[in-house]
Chains A and B, each alone.
Chain A
Amino acid sequence: MDKLYESQKLAIWYFAVAIVLFGAQLLFGLVGAIQFVNPDFLFGVLDFSIGRMLHINALVVWLLLGFIGAIYWFLPKEFGREVVGIKLGKLAFFILVAAVTVVVLVYIFIQIGPGDWKTLWFITEGREYIEAPRWADIGIVAVALVVFYNVVATALAAKKITGITGVLIVDLGALFGLYLAGMFYTPNISVDQFYWWWVVHLWVEATWEVLIGVLMAWSLMYLLGSSRKLVETWLYVEVFLVFGTGILGLGHHYFWIGTPEYWLGIGGFFSALEPIPLVAMIIHAIYDAGMHKLRTANRPALFWVFAQAFGNFLGAGVWGFMQTLPQINLYSHGTQMAASHGHLAFFGAYVAANLAVLYIIVGELRMKGITPQKGVKYVLDSKAWRYAYVGMIISIIGMTAALLVAGFEQTLQERAIGGSTWQAYIDAQEHPWFKEAMLWRLGFGVLFFVSYIILIYDLLTIKPKPVKEEEIETELGAVPEKA
């Protein structure tokens, strides 16, 4: 077995930090879930707003770290050479980790500041998901530029471009570029939210979606030995559908923020079509797996690929579709319906994708040190990954279902009947359906955390096991078909 590229070592660091932040995300989520049940919990110490900010910022950051790690893992294999500028890449990693640490400490210990520029530059920008203060934004952009440079310079040095890497480069440029749209201040809240959605929506429903298309394309090649031509053609189909529906689908956030009425039609129409590419992705995964009769050497990774395909379709496609027509969204907007959808979508689309890649990495790493014998093949397998897998899926579905009940109750009681006032809000929150739902969510949240612990245990202990030759088609760590 070959030695690891430096780029792949960097990938491991990225994933290590990502997985730790995943745990932090869950703990802060639990704080928020407890506060819904008992509002006095940590009141005045770690108020809901602070815990929630940490919950979703940790989410966004760890998913991005995982994506970057995945790129550093697959890239040298794709080009058959070390990544260009890897020293710079490592430096950027340490800067990023240091910056994230400082931001988190400031969030926890300083929390808020006076209403002036200093606060926006050094404490918080107070804009959901992208609260990170301005200095950190600039750091993030600098790191993003280094990652982008690594990818492009490696392609140039290898003097070749594959379909997958072509899509990757264009997509990364757009993904990082969009972050700039979230980096300015305006006193006008309509303009503020207009561009805020360029980051939030055009990330998760366009550029991230294409990025996981790339990562899943690579994963299917490694896990099942799928043919490159097939995988790349599907990737183009997915990009066509994702960009074709997702870019103007942005309009589903422009119904009620001061924007013109034509967005109701444009946003409603295009976003209603957004599930189509997600169906295409499922077909792709199932077709490839069927073609190869599931004979993979890496079971946990393949199962996370399936969870990804179905979770993305259900969480983003179905749960998003539910509330995307303006006639429905008028009442469901800004209720737990969005939280229900947000949880299943982020988990299905992006958490599952990162875990699939992580298991691919672990599978290959653990093969080192094993001297292959003739007639014996190895499969990465254990009991623990199954518990973590089933546990996480059950608990995310449980949380999603509880929030759906809460959200629907809110939609009807607070918005449709109550007219959305302060008192209507309180009445809806005090309704037994809502309160029960919050208990269920907390319970499933705890189960999610337990599953996370099992996942960590498994990642540290899972080992390749010898099996008879004919049962599997791929090898852990083997390089698939070249371009």
Chain B
Amino acid sequence: MKIGWLEVTVASIFIVIFLTLIFSRGSNWLEPKFWRNAAIFSGVIMTIFLIFLTFDTHRYINMGGINVPEPDVINNKILYVYDDAKGYYVPKIEGQEGFFGKIWSKEEASALIDKGKKTIQSRNCMDCHTLLGNGAYYAPDLTKAWLDPKWEQLIMPVVGKSMKEEAMATWLQNPDKYPTWTRKMPNLRLTPEEAKAVVAYLKYMSAIYTNGFPDHFGVAAK
């Protein structure tokens, strides 16, 4: 079943008003009782709707759900392309290209993604960067960082690696050594395994369907 926003909106408001009026029969709208009922029903009904929508949303946001890929998506080639029907950019997951030169099994990929997420949390990445647009504003947004042209254009030559994954991992372990401008990223003492896992996480995150955010990533305005 597909849920429509307008139906949810109208239904929730209607039910709150309806129940308030039913339960306040006989009392005037200026009385405390009327507004107490309104307060109770708006709190309860909106919470019920939120819980219902939460269950439905999980169909989209679980790994392997409608919008969020399985960890082994890191094996695939990922693109961000314009969708004419939607009017915005969507991730496009193509055939296998491997990751760090190999194909990762489901279990291996899950373990790597888990490590990547824990590493990202343990280094407080979100307190400088935004991920999916949330976090701090001292450093670039990482939602589609895997697809950033800078890796090919600048980082690969500078760190001297011909494989993008390796260049990213090298840079992430020594960001203070290869500054890109006046504001340097501090050295967060990532181990080689942690750096690999973080790169995997960035690749995985770039495959999440985000309703078009960030708009035309990597493509400057015409």
Q: How far is the CB of A61 from chain B (nearest CB, A)?
A: 16
Question: Do A259 and B32 touch (CB < 8 A)?
Answer: no
For residue A16, give the distance in angstroms from its CB to the closest CB of chain B: 28
* Contact across chains for B213 and A113 when beta carbons are under 8 A apart: no
Chain B residues, CB < 8 A from A375: none
- Across the interface, A240 reaches (CB within 8 A) one of B38, B68, B138, B208, namely B38
Q: Are B130 and A334 in contact (CB under 8 A)?
A: yes
Are the CB atoms of A124 and B121 closer together than 8 Å? Answer: yes
Q: In the assembled complex, which residues on chain A have CB atoms less than 8 Å from the CB atom of B124? A: 49-50, 53, 111-112, 124, 126, 131
Q: Is B216's beta carbon under 8 Å from chain A?
A: yes
Q: Is the CB of A39 within 8 A of B182?
A: yes
Q: Is the CB of A163 within 8 A of B36?
A: yes
Measured CB to CB, the nearest residue on chain B to A419 is B216
Q: How many residues of A contact B (CB 8 A)?
A: 94
Kindly state the separation between the CA atoms of A391 and B103 in the bound complex, as whole angstroms: 61
Interface size class of B (residues with CB under 8 A): 35 or more
B16 CB–A CB distance under 8 Å: yes
Contacts of A259 in B (CB 8 A): 57, 60-61, 67, 211
Q: Which of A189-197, A295-303, A377-385 contacts B (4 or more CB under 8 A)?
A: A189-197
Tell me which residues from 112 to 137 in chain A have a Cβ below 8 Å from any Cβ of chain B: 112-117, 119-120, 123-128, 131
Residue in A closest to B204 when the chains form the complex, CB atoms: A189
B127 touches A52 (CB 8 A): yes
**A229 proximity list for chain B (CB < 8 A):** 32
Q: Which residue of A lies closest to B119 (CB)?
A: A115
- Whether A190 lies near B221 (C-beta < 8 A) is no
Min Cβ gap B74→A in Å is: 13
Q: Give the contacts of A397-449 with B (CB-CB under 8 A).
A: 410, 415-426, 429-430
Contact of B181 among A237, A265, A430 (CB under 8 A): A430
Indicate if the CB atoms of B61 and A190 lie closer than 8 Å. yes
Residue B134 at the chain A interface, CB threshold 8 Å: yes
Shortest CB–CB separation between residue B117 and chain A, in angstroms?
4
- A187 interface residue (CB < 8 Å to B): yes
Please provide the chain B residues from 81 to 133 with a CB less than 8 Å away from any CB of chain A in the complex: 110, 113-128, 130-133
A127–B123 alpha-carbon span in the complex (Å): 10
A420 x B144 contact (CB < 8 A): yes
> Is A358 among interface residues, defined by CB-CB distance under 8 A?
no
Nearest chain B CB to A51's CB is how many angstroms away? 9
Contact residues in B for A35 (Cβ distance below 8 Å): 138
Contacts of A53 in B (CB 8 A): 124, 127
Verify if A387 is at the interface (C-beta below 8 Å from B): no
Q: How far is the CB of A23 from chain B (nearest CB, A)?
A: 21
A172 to chain B, nearest CB (A): 14
A243 within 8 A of B: yes
- Interface contact A124-B67, CB-CB below 8 Å: no
Complex-state Cα separation, A128 to B128, whole angstroms: 10
> A22 to chain B: which residues have CB within 8 Å?
none
Candidate in B5, B31, B62 with the most chain A CB atoms within 10 angstroms = B5
| B144 (CB) vs chain A CBs: closest residue | A420
Q: How far is the CB of A459 from chain B (nearest CB, A)?
A: 31
A126-B120 CB under 8 A given contacts A240-B42, A262-B4: yes
Q: Mark A230-245, 1 if CB is under 8 A from B, else 0.
A: 0011001101110110
Distance from B105 Cβ to chain A, minimum over Cβ atoms (Å): 16
Judging by beta carbons under 8 Å apart, are A331 and B211 in contact? Answer: no
Query: B35 touches which one: A170, A236, A270 (CB < 8 A)?
Result: A236
| Among candidates A123, A186, A194, A330, residue contacting B215 with C-beta atoms closer than 8 Å | A330
Establish whether residues A260 and B141, one from each chain, have CB atoms under 8 Å apart when the complex forms.
no
Q: With A113-B122, A124-B122, A260-B3 in contact, is A236–B138 under 8 Å at CB?
A: no
- Tell me whether A116 and B118 are in contact in the complex, defined as CB-CB below 8 angstroms, given that A128-B126, A193-B132, A248-B49 are known contacts: yes
Given contacts A163-B32, A262-B53, A266-B8, 18 further A-B contacts (CB under 8 A): A32-B138, A39-B182, A53-B124, A115-B115, A123-B122, A126-B126, A187-B110, A191-B58, A237-B38, A240-B39, A244-B16, A248-B12, A248-B53, A257-B134, A258-B60, A410-B137, A421-B149, A421-B150
The 10 A-B pairs at the shortest CB distance, nearest first, are namely A265-B5, A115-B119, A126-B121, A236-B35, A256-B213, A420-B214, A334-B133, A49-B127, A244-B42, A247-B46
Binding site for B on A (CB under 8 A): 32, 35-36, 39, 43-44, 47-50, 52-53, 111-117, 119-120, 123-128, 131, 163, 167, 170, 185-194, 196, 229, 232-233, 236-237, 239-241, 243-244, 247-248, 250, 253-266, 269-270, 330-331, 333-336, 338-339, 410, 415-426, 429-430
